Structure 1
């Protein structure tokens, strides 16, 4: 085997993709999607919609292409999108931002997260506290920066953090507290008490709070409250979001970061040497989306509530124990009652497409190896498909139990 030195090994190992022999293995998402394709199963594994976004947003992209918005956009982003993001933050959360200094457009939230972590971390003595299970790119980006990931588990069945464990995880080496709220993969929305504790701890050790809020408009049962709106939080918080989930345009990869000018300047210094810029005609289209009326944003949350409840019903009828999902696309279920002797959720999910005709992802794909056993029976299902698709998946799951 060719020996290729470099940080790719550290990055792949952080994401759990490096085999003991040093070879790369595919992500669980690629593996399960391939099984779904081979078997014709309904794919509730990956979190992307199966329908297009609002016509106004699609039309704005088409108009931008036709009118020549096809070259590099300005480095920080199209001025209209920068303005629209600032308007959005004030409209929904009461935060006034300077679009020229406190907003940065990125190639999706994933690039915003990577650029932020690369900007703020500087080697193995720096630690990032993260809630586990976590989106796989977090571990990869932290590893790429050469820093250390410190997970705080979200324990079944509440899928909420233990505050004593959170306090114990934060130390003088903590440079970033990374918060995904609403949370992927669990669907948790963090309580006001947890958010206040995060802010207090960040002040105590002089850490930066980095928030991934891509599901901000898919909070189902209550208005979303960003951490940056809490007293003492804004001056040390980088808030990250994107248009992909809100406007069902995940392939456009238009994201953004907002925060104090000094922090956004540091992120920009790194980001400009990653993609530089991206998606020129899609940027004014997302700006149009951010200015859609309140009815649109209420409607997507209502639609997600219907799909969540339909999926949860099918899962319970199939024999799963189901955790309540307060936001995002995702519902987590415990497959323990359905597992055969010696089977874990990973093996269960590999067999599920052929056995039932539905694909899902084991939660163990989102955890560090040392905590694998704590999550070994949990499965993530994505309820972001059309209602008739969710209905058919629920029927198949329930029928499998009968």
Structure 2
């Protein structure tokens, strides 16, 4: 049979065949390979229909191998030739409509299921985004907790360090040459209570010295005011007596300053639980009476107390350099006189020195620079000239 007569497609148990001729269809029906529930379609069609719903094929399935069946098949051949081979029976039309409706419903269910899956997928994306956000929050919180942990550890280290300072540990290693050359180590552990008692005693003694220094400073101010009044009144004897008293108080003040510095020098030894092994510290202090001359000498703003307090505050860099010198020369000491003027506006003029016995001339620069950087209060009187003796002594 020519290829153009192969106008039919068959779908049997889900498997597609064709194109095939009508004779092949008849043969497969006779061989029971094509049944009423299988599907057929023309080459020119897209819709599959069940064979039992096709008018001519339904007649073939229901007729015996008689003349009527042969006529039905001949009619089927003519229908295929005319392109109307898929004319449906009345029942077939209803069956095909039901089948299509069922298929549409099934597809709708599948579509809804797909939409639900799509929604779930979107929800999953939102959940994933939420999880990412929660994960980021957890990581941030973890970092915060890590920082808090570091702070706690720092606090604990600070507490341990403070407790360590509060406990004296003295290790005395005694080498004993015995039969086997054994080294004996004796560890002596002091009590924290003893350390605290020593510290409290030092603090009380320093407070007592500070109180006495404050009383002397107040007395010196009063004496300076009295000297100014006595000079204005021309009472020479009273001026001499007051100046003698001021000299005596200044000597007492010098002794108290030395005592106070000794007490402060002892304090680090108690804190560290033993002697200061980092080197000696030096003291730069007044070596005698400070001479103040000039028109403004009697003004309270140019008193011994004011000038000594200002000079002491200016000697910080010199003290640091002196302490560095003591590391290599622990016994270094000496003295020097600083001479400078103070103008009525409080500025320092012409700072120089004399009578230096300092162990290192490099100490002179920091002393003079400190004096030149001072700025006193302004007064209505005239300028003054100050001769300030300094001594440098190791402690």
Structure with greater Cα Rg = 2
Q: Which TM class, normalised by the smaller chain length?
A: under 0.3
TM-score if structure 2 supplies the norm length? 0.17
Q: Which has the higher helix share?
A: 2
TM-score if structure 1 supplies the norm length? 0.16
